[in-house]
Amino acid sequence: MSVHSLDEEKNGLASVSPNGSFHKTNKGEAIVEPVGSGNAELEEVTELQTSETLHRGLKARQISMIALGGAVGTGLIIGSGTALVQGGPLGILLGYSFVGMICYLVMTALGEMAAWLPHKKGFSGYATRFVDPSVGFALGWNYLMKYLVVTPNNINAAGVVIRYWTEKVHTAVWMVIFIAFIFVVNLLGVRVFGELEFWFSSLKVITLIGLLLMGIIIDLGGNPRHDRIGFRYWNPPDGPMGHYLKDQVGGRESLSIFLGFWSVMVNALFAFIGTELIGVTVGEAQNPRKNIPIAIRRTFWRILVFYVGGVFVIGLTVPSTNHDLFTATKAKTGAAASPFVVAATLVGIKTLPSIINACILIFVLSAANSDLYIGSRTLYGLAIEGKAPAIFKRVNRAGVPYAALILCTAFCFLVFLNLATSSAKVFGYFVNLVSSFGAITWMCIAFCHIRFMKALKAQGISRNDIPYKAPFQPWGSWFALVATAIITFFKGFDAFLPWQTPKFITSYIALPTFFVFWLSYKLFYRTKMYAPEEVDLHTGKRAIDQEEEYFLQQEALKPPRSRLQRLWDDM
């Protein structure tokens, strides 16, 4: 066993007696003996699991829907309008497809690691185990900072959406209500959170399917004006490619087309960021080695249908030169900001904006709810590893890390920044920060997976024998790492044309922040990157295997499920 494996055993990350019986670790996690346990032991297991650690309470259907909910939000329903203006219908299709491919490669890489070791310490745990504790420290705090920012961003969007119906009640009042709502939902425990998020995400799916069908019907002539649009908007002057910053680059058409396409990829990066949250839910997932790979595999179809299909429909039904779309995407965030509303308005559909507005409200509240959940679990994971104050390890009887939850909720009040400046500006600043923090997370996940694969090979473990084998490897993770790095490095190019200090800072502040976290930890603790032979692939794995076996035994004791119940579980 490697040196850092022994250290983690000593710190209580995993502790199983020679006879395999149940007992509690120093970290407060419960280890169970699945075979031959008496009733007294099972009662003790239940008591510990309900009081001292996160609970594995997320069901297969909930994990699957949470994976979808994290991947679909304001970046698609609102931000795609800006991408259409800048990139044109073909540019937005190509840009979202390319970034969607990167996203899929990152997700499969994460799925391979999560299926092997579905621990409760989030991404930073994989970086600490497979790369270097300093990388784990920097990644953990980077990911936490992303969720400290993205949660108030979605609250901000929800507050502006409400103003579509009424401005009699001050926006600050609505924001307090929304913050209280998501705090209470998270405080009630993972079962309540999982069930509510399941229904939220189900409504998202229904809404997106409805919007896609609406767009196709409008395009084929099923609209009040009986106008068959076809690919009309793919022809000049509306398409196929857009122009961005044409005046700033001296009117050079080819360069402005390229900048338009590049801006689409930056926009798409923000839209896809959040898909990786499934990697944090593994700590509270039932039967994770089966359910996590299922959720990962379905990601491909979600990306293809909802993202690529969504922007394709938008490009068919809305001209990229439409001034209403430009005004909507630049002036405010709400129902009017959605290109789907612009598409309906152009063909004379009157009542749809209010319906879509209500759906957008559900989208952003669902996103804020899951963001607060992920933020609190990330901080909890850092505390478990000793990389955050020990107070954030505290968990109540419902399995909620309440101290971490309170801190993350406090950051939601950053949303009141929009009382001093416009909501659109605040939204834009948050978008830049979120996409930067998220891109760094993707790069770290890809790099962790590269090191994980090297460790498997060095230690004689075939990837054919692990619970889930990611496709297109090892080149897939290398491609995702390099491509994301290039997009991230050049994502703030428009801050120079002309120079915009706030945009430059929010586009790039994440990079030096990550570097400072990494370097300070590395110098203070004098850590080094593990050689593949030294990587700890086994500590804690036996405990998770036992926990999973116990779960499967308990499931086997239940009466047979009806066909309808099995269908419900597989949703």
pLDDT in tens, the chain (571 residues): 444 443 444 343 333 333 333 333 333 333 333 333 334 333 333 333 434 565 555 555 556 666 665 556 667 777 788 889 889 999 999 999 999 999 999 989 998 998 888 876 777 788 999 999 999 999 989 988 888 888 888 887 787 778 777 778 887 888 899 999 999 988 887 778 777 877 887 788 888 888 899 999 999 999 888 899 999 999 988 879 988 888 888 888 899 999 999 989 988 988 888 777 776 666 556 677 777 777 777 778 878 888 899 999 999 999 988 876 644 445 444 445 578 888 888 888 877 777 877 887 887 888 888 888 888 888 888 888 788 898 998 888 877 888 999 999 999 888 887 665 555 566 667 778 888 898 999 999 999 999 999 999 999 999 988 888 999 988 999 999 999 999 999 988 888 888 888 889 888 999 999 999 999 999 999 999 999 999 988 887 777 777 777 767 776 777 776 776 666 555 5
316 dihedral zone (left: phi>0; alpha: psi -120 to 50; beta): alpha
Cα–Cα distance, 77 to 339 (Å, whole number): 7
Q: Structure pTM? A: 0.81
Q: Which amino acid is at 125?
A: G
Cβ(261)–Cβ(95) below 8 Å: yes
CATH number of the domain bearing residue 353: 1.20.1740.10
**What is the count of structural domains for the chain?**
1
Q: What distance in Å separates the CA atoms of residue 21 and residue 96, rounded to the nearest whole number? A: 51
Q: Which residues, 6+ apart, have CB-to-CB distance to 178 below 8 Å?
A: 155, 158, 159, 365, 368
Domain assignment of residue 135, yes or no: yes
Range of the domain at 129: 58-534
Q: Is residue 437 part of a domain?
A: yes
C-alpha atoms less than 13 angstroms from C-alpha of 366 in its C-beta half-sphere? 29
Residue 236 corresponds to which amino acid? P
Q: Where are the alpha helices (DSSP H) in 389-462?
A: 402-411, 423-458
**Is 159 domain-assigned?**
yes
Residue 414 resides in a domain: yes
DSSP single-letter state for residue 25: -
* DSSP three-state, residue 252: coil
Residue 564 lies inside a defined structural domain of this protein? no
The amino acid that residue 459 corresponds to is Q
Tokens standing for 446?
A: 């890809």
Please say whether the beta carbons of 73 and 274 come within 8 A. Answer: yes
Q: Distance between CA 223 and CA 436 in Å, rounded?
A: 40
**Residue 197, domain member (yes or no):** yes
Cα–Cα distance for residue pair 374/148, rounded to 1 Å: 10
Q: Residue 552 falls within a domain, yes or no?
A: no
**DSSP-H helix ranges across 319-422:** 323-331, 339-346, 352-384, 402-411
Q: Which residue has the tokens 């310490």?
A: 121
Structure token pair of residue 19: 């006879």
Instruction: Establish if 29 belongs to a structural domain.
Output: no
Closest Cα to residue 279, out of 263, 297, 295?
295
State both tokens at 445: 């996940």
